[in-house]
Each structure stands twice: as structure tokens, then as C-alpha cells.
Amino acid sequence: MVQIGSGAARELENIKLSRYACYLIVQNGDPRKEIIARGQTYFAIQTRRRELEKDSEFKAFNEDQKRIFLRNELKEHNKKLASAAKDAGVQAGLDFAIFQDHGYKGLYGGLKAKQIHQKKKLKKSQQILDHMGSTELAANLFRATQTEEKLRREQIQGKTKANRAHYEVGAKVRETIEDLGGRMPEDLPIPSKSITQLKRLSDRDKLQ
């Protein structure tokens, strides 16, 4: 029995949906509703996971190779994210830095890029993305791809709204990691070698 207003109730049948039906509903639903947002996050993660599982080359990668692959992916998607943010009204360099910080704050439990940089004990010239393991890079890749899609799908306009959207996506990714029992990004181990060092070693091996 469900309430239909004025204290009245009506009996409704339960409906069991197929996985595909659930997918269609959440992809076309209002992401401002928590259950829809959670559903979109779930299907996006599963889609990406299956893409990687089907990629036999990726499955054969060791940790260093996965890091290089994901860092390159993130580099390309960050360009797309920057373009989407610009279309939403994030124009100046400082504005984009603030926009990026909102995404990090959502994913890293309130930490900004500078604080993550300090936590990893990096030099000023070192980039935090080059000092992440494959799991941390994958979480940031998902944050970037989903924020870009959200900005374009919802046609978000204005710096404030764009910043909020980036924060919300980051927070949802963090929430999903927690639901799956994973370690929070800020608690993941810091690799001993940077991506730059790995690429240098890889290039040297190719020449030998």
C-alpha cells in the first residue's frame, strides 16, 4: 500500500526489473535524486570495469604498466574535462584550478590539490598524478570522465554550479569506494617511482 495524498492509500503491484531496464531508468532519470545518481555511478563503474576486463593487454600489465596506461588515459580525459568546464563558464586559469580543487575535495574527503601534494611529500615541480598507483589513478579517471559527462548532459552553466558538480561527482566516487570496502584515495600507498621515471626506464629498455 502506498500513500497517494490526503491520508488515502492504494495498493500497487511490485515489479521486478531486468538489469537493462534498471540501466535505462537511471540513465534517463534525474541525477539530482540520490537513487538515480547512485545508479548512474554504479553502471558507469561496471561499464569501465568490463572494458578493462575485456582488454587482454591491460589484464597482462604489471602495476607499473597499468600506471602508465591510466596516466595517459587521464591526461586525455582531463583535456576533455577542461573543455567541458570552459563551456560551462570556467574560463581563467585560476578558475580552473579552483574547479579542479572541488573535484579533489569531493574524492579526497576535503583535501585540495595542494594538501594532497603535501601529504605525498612531493616537490613543487612534481605532479600529484605522476605519484599515484593504478587504483588511485583509476578513481581520478572515473571522477574526470563522469564530471565531463555531467557538465555536458545537464548543460551546467556558471562557475559555482560547475564547481559544485565536480565536487558532487568526486564525493559520489568516494562514497562508492567506501560502499565497496576499498581504501580511501588519500590512504593508498605512494609508489616509489613516478610515472616520468617509469616512462624513462621503459624507453631505455626499448632501446636496448
The model's pTM is: 0.71
Q: Cα torsion at 52, 58, 64, 67 (round to 10°)? A: -30
- Residue 106 has what pLDDT? 96
Region 44-70: mean pLDDT is 77
Q: How far apart are CA 180 and CA 158, in angstroms?
A: 33
195: CB partners within 8 A, 6+ apart: 67, 68, 71, 129, 130, 131
The cell numbers describing 175, all together, are 562514497
pLDDT tens for 194-207 read: 998 998 887 666 55
pLDDT tens for 93-148 read: 899 999 999 999 999 999 999 999 999 999 888 999 999 999 999 999 999 999 99
Assign 84 a pLDDT band (cuts: 50, 70, 90). very high
Q: Over pLDDT 90: what percentage of the chain? A: 52
Q: Tell me what the pLDDT averaged over the chain comes to.
A: 88
Region 37-42: mean pLDDT is 84
Residue 92 — φ and ψ, nearest 5°?
A: -70, 160
- Residue 57 has what pLDDT? 67
- Residue 208 has what pLDDT? 53
- Residues forming a β-bridge with 9: 3
More confidently predicted of 62 and 48: 62
Assign 35 a pLDDT band (cuts: 50, 70, 90). confident
Whether the per-residue pLDDT at 163 is higher than 80: the answer is yes
User: Residue 157 is which amino acid?
Assistant: Q
Domain limits, the chain = 1-60, 63-207
